[in-house]
Amino acid sequence: MRFFINEPPADGVFTIGGGDARHITRSLRLKIGAHIKISDSSGFDYECVIVEIKDSSVRAKITDISKNVSEPSVRLTLFQALPKGAKLDLIVEKCVELGVYEITPVLTEFCVTRELNEHKSARLNKIAEAAAKQSGRGSVPKVAPLLPLAQAAERPFDLSLAPYEKETSARLSDALRGFSGKTAAIFIGPEGGFSPKEIELLRRNSAIVTLGRRILRTETAPIVAAALFFNETGDL
């Protein structure tokens, strides 16, 4: 079982509090002497043994340190047009498992849903944390606040990609040929796709690409795009 902690260890001992401490003691029913894995999001994993259990905290002593090997070499940000219903839950879960570094919901012309409240944002970040634990990530990707597409398109990356259903020849693999950068972004449209005006906006800083012959749903496209991206960079 993996846990993420932001605070550094004191004298080789991590202190786990909050919901993780309750999960260890009440749900997992772990006892003193049980082994757990802790990541401090710095790129290292710590094998630990529980040495103390209290009502609101658990202390675990480091027994071994190793470099986390699951984090991709490229920090990929997904700019996902805000979809309807619970589709964003699935997108966050699967893209975190694949290795996406950050997920930023964006507001586009054809978005049916127009708001992302604090409660929903908090739940999405919990989904990201659970997916990071399950997939052995070395850090927890952030689900950022909702941004207008125009603002998202201005953020600088070594490479930006925008899959578009009307593009038929430029493939994602073509755009990545020879790429050696450390940051990248993928822009995914909503159920109705990007408008022609939005595509022209994205074209200024992004490579417009196709994901294949078939038109994918908004919740399918980011998963396919992330998998193709990391396959090309050798990070899948």
Q: Structural domains in the chain?
A: 2-67 (2.40.240.20), 75-233 (3.40.1280.10)
Q: What single-letter amino acid sits at 153?
A: A
Q: What is the pLDDT along the chain (236 residues), one digit of tens a residue?
A: 789 998 889 999 999 999 999 999 989 999 999 999 999 878 889 999 999 999 899 999 999 999 999 999 999 999 999 999 999 999 999 999 999 999 999 999 999 999 999 999 999 999 999 999 999 999 999 999 999 999 999 999 999 999 999 999 999 999 999 999 999 999 999 999 999 999 999 999 999 999 999 999 999 999 999 999 999 999 98
At 225, phi and psi to the nearest 5? Answer: -65, -45
At 12, phi and psi to the nearest 5? Answer: 80, 15
CA torsion sign, 194 to 197 to 201 to 207? positive
Question: Distance between CA atoms of 73 and 82, rounded to whole angstroms?
Answer: 27
CA distances from 58 to 10, 28, 40, 107, 171 (A): 13, 13, 16, 41, 50
pLDDT for position 6: 85
pTM for this predicted structure: 0.92
Question: Distance between CA atoms of 27 and 18, rounded to whole angstroms?
Answer: 13
pLDDT for position 39: 92
